[in-house]
Chains A and B, each alone.
Chain A
Amino acid sequence: MSALLEKLLRAKLTIWVLLVAPAIWALKPLFSPDPSDADPLKSTLLHLGLIACIVLAVVLAFTPLRVLWPKWGVAQALNRHRRLVGVGAFAYAILHFTAHVLHSYDGGFGTFWKEIQKPFQLIGLGALLILFVLTITSLNAAIRWMGGKAWKNLHRLAYVAAALAAWHQADARKVFPMQVVWIFGPLAVLEIARIWKQRVRRDV
């Protein structure tokens, strides 16, 4: 079972399918809106943001999974695709941003300009900018050009992006949405376990 899963997850095609499939769900309201959906574009906007957060949390979990269970084939398989999945998170984030622009369109961009200056939107924009920088430096050529150490340091900004995304998601609602905990909670637990394990190893 685990071996089959590992084999599947090693294939790039599987990862592509898993990354693209949620887009169908996210964009569906725009192509065949539910008659009881009062604001289909808003539904798409929320779906895209939700997927962006989930993909980002998932890709960041790959490393701690491998550190905690180094011999687990599935964790090894997943870690082959870190950059691809990371770029996937950016793709959803930029689609989410595009939906924001369309949603605030009032015949011009006056509403958009006012909205983007609000703190929760600036926080989301910060996460998007980080993901953008990480995406354009995700090619092998960029790693060679920057040098492995500098590249790694730059790409640690992904954790900052995740923190900003969680904050953005929580602050976008009138009351705290529990989904933030479901999405980023497991990642936080894995990270704490990983740091703890690495520290113990260093102490020995």
Chain B
Amino acid sequence: MLIRTPKNWALPESAATPESVYRNRRAFLKTLGLAGAALTSRDLLATTAGFPTRVNADYRDPALKPTNYELITSYNNFYEFGTDKADPKPNANKGWKTEPWTVELTGLINNPLKIDANDLVMKMGGAEQRVYRFRCVEAWSMVIPWDGFPLSKLIKFADPKPEAKFVTFTTFLDPKSAPGQRGSAIAWPYFEGLRMDEAMHDLSFIATGIYGKPIPNQNGAPLRLVVPWKYGFKCGKSIVKIDFVAKQPRNSWQVLQSSEYGFYANVNPTVDHPRWTQASERVIGAGGAFGTRQKTLMFNGYEAQVADLYRGMDLRKNY
């Protein structure tokens, strides 16, 4: 018999806000009128469906200590809102609207459609929480409790045709709201892709929240990709289109500098970025002002789960 010992983070059912109260939250805010508008415009919450979330105990390694919420939501690479890591937090909250939000499922699938982000979350059966390692290609790392749903659920729902071999993710394009998109640092909109088996892997996740709260704009509201064994840039933010294609696509960073960024971008301590080593990483939020480093793990610590996907491949060539 399986006996599950509740961990200290496993709140009892009674602690959760009753669903009816939660669902009425928006209506309540609307009735507040002006006061409500002032409240929400400061910290716009885009996908509120699926909260509160249940912790998925299978993805809650007690050895992982989640990074402080403030740091996760203040230190962001989101070039649409500036190239400094402190830029996205202020710039993505100056009137950029992430609600309502429509996502398009298209390409080689039997069930193409355009759907509201909240409706999509409900269709996926709500949200669950998983704690993943997050490793940036710039050699820093965090531990993030993501809320959302497995990408495989969405793919099954889209029902791909046999000739669909890759899944691509397109970020929003709105230069009026996103100052970074007025420059030409990257060929906007941001674009990413996964091989079908990678996308179908149980670890691949669509996040709609962090720490049980709807995902803030600067972290990629309302929907973003999370692929924990790959470098962070693979995790496209604020997705508007999921396209199923037959040929391997070229992702944004690969287009910009293919000698430095490849299609796979698997976390690999033995393959250096041309301009810095990937053997170790700064641990965000640890070690005081001077900080600290730890050794980077193969596939970011998910080797046992994902190594099979790349059996027989030369990971030096397919970086």
Interface positions of A (Cβ within 8 A of B): 29-31, 33, 35-42, 102-107, 110-111, 114-115, 118-120, 171-177
Residue of B nearest to A102 (CB): B290
Interface positions of B (Cβ within 8 A of A): 70-71, 74-75, 79, 83, 85-86, 89, 138, 140, 185-186, 256-257, 272, 274-277, 279-280, 282, 284-285, 289-291, 293, 295
Residue of B nearest to A38 (CB): B75
Contact yes or no, A175 B185, CB < 8 A: yes
A30 to B290, CA, bound (A): 7
A36 to B89, CA, bound (A): 10
Contact yes or no, A111 B291, CB < 8 A: no
Contact yes or no, A40 B291, CB < 8 A: yes
A104 to B293, CA, bound (A): 8
Nearest 5 pairs of A and B residues by beta carbon: A38-B75, A36-B74, A114-B277, A106-B293, A175-B185
B-side contacts of A104, CB under 8 Å: 293
With beta carbons under 8 angstroms apart, the residue of B186, B277, B279 that contacts A175 is B186
Contact yes or no, A111 B293, CB < 8 A: yes
A36 to B284, CA, bound (A): 11
With beta carbons under 8 angstroms apart, the residue of A31, A41, A114 that contacts B291 is A41
A176 to B285, CA, bound (A): 28
Indicate the member of B71, B274, B290, B295 with the most A CB atoms within 10 Å. Answer: B290
Give 27 pairs: A residue, B residue, CB < 8 Å, sorted on A. A30-B289, A35-B70, A36-B71, A36-B75, A36-B89, A38-B71, A39-B284, A39-B291, A40-B290, A40-B291, A41-B290, A41-B291, A42-B291, A102-B290, A106-B293, A107-B293, A110-B279, A111-B279, A111-B280, A111-B293, A118-B275, A173-B83, A174-B83, A174-B257, A175-B79, A175-B185, A175-B256
If the complex has contacts A33-B289, A35-B70, A41-B290, are A103 and B282 also in contact, measured as CB distance less than 8 A? yes
B-side contacts of A41, CB under 8 Å: 289-291
Contact yes or no, B291 A106, CB < 8 A: no
Contact yes or no, B275 A120, CB < 8 A: yes
Total CB contacts across the A-B interface at under 8 A: 74
B74 CB to nearest A CB, Å: 4
A107 to B70, CA, bound (A): 27
A-side contacts of B290, CB under 8 Å: 30, 40-41, 102
If the complex has contacts A30-B289, A38-B71, A106-B293, are A115 and B83 also in contact, measured as CB distance less than 8 A? no
Contact yes or no, B293 A39, CB < 8 A: no
A120 to B272, CA, bound (A): 14
Contact yes or no, A38 B285, CB < 8 A: yes
B190 CB to nearest A CB, Å: 13
Contacts A40-B291, A110-B279, A173-B83 supplied; 8 other A-B pairs, CB < 8 Å: A36-B71, A36-B89, A38-B71, A38-B285, A102-B290, A114-B279, A118-B275, A175-B186
A-side contacts of B277, CB under 8 Å: 111, 114-115, 118
If the complex has contacts A38-B85, A42-B282, are A29 and B274 also in contact, measured as CB distance less than 8 A? no
If the complex has contacts A36-B70, A39-B140, are A118 and B276 also in contact, measured as CB distance less than 8 A? yes
B263 CB to nearest A CB, Å: 17
A41 to B284, CA, bound (A): 11
B-side contacts of A37, CB under 8 Å: 74-75
B178 CB to nearest A CB, Å: 15
A104 to B290, CA, bound (A): 11
B-side contacts of A30, CB under 8 Å: 289-290
A176 to B79, CA, bound (A): 12
Contact yes or no, B289 A177, CB < 8 A: no
Contact yes or no, B275 A105, CB < 8 A: no
B-side contacts of A105, CB under 8 Å: 293
Contact yes or no, B289 A115, CB < 8 A: no
A114 to B271, CA, bound (A): 12
A34 to B160, CA, bound (A): 47
B-side contacts of A36, CB under 8 Å: 70-71, 74-75, 86, 89
A42 to B281, CA, bound (A): 13
